[in-house]
Amino acid sequence: MWALIGWVVLGVGFRKVWGVRAARWMAMGLAASYVVILGLHFGEAEGGFGTLAEVMKLFTDRWVALGGWVHYLVFDLFVGAWIVDTGQREGLPWWRVLPALPLTFLFGPAGLLLFSVLRGKGF
């Protein structure tokens, strides 16, 4: 719910500095919860990051899965805030920014790619 509120703030506060700031603070709140989850449950799960099979095994643990989900929520929201901030700084029209936000929320890298294309300046 916290991440969703951050996305609503970005959409509503698209042309306002406070929208980006609020979304970044919300992302940092989620990042803090991520650190707590890792701190309390680090090393409890089997698996690892060396192969896809190890990662799949790692994510069978509910705390690791929760940490992974929060990880995505933090980074997607932070990227969304970056997109809006970049749009503000570059004076982009809303149609070059807003379409990328729901895509970033749902499919992070795809939204970033769309914004990069709509931005018209490359990477």
Mean pLDDT of 46-54: 95
pLDDT-based confidence at 39, cuts 50/70/90?
A: very high
Q: How many CB atoms lie within 10 A of CB 100?
A: 24
Which pLDDT tens digit goes with each residue over 74-93? 999 999 999 999 999 999 99
DSSP symbol at 54: H
Q: Are 85 and 24 in contact (CB under 8 A)?
A: no
Task: Please choose, from the candidates 15, 106, 20, the residue with its C-alpha nearest in 3D space to the C-alpha of residue 6.
Answer: 20
pTM of the predicted model over 0.85: yes
Q: Are 3 and 19 in contact (CB under 8 A)?
A: no
With a cut of 90, say whether residue 17 has pLDDT above it: no
With a cut of 70, say whether residue 123 has pLDDT above it: no
More confidently predicted of 70 and 19: 70
With a cut of 90, say whether residue 103 has pLDDT above it: yes
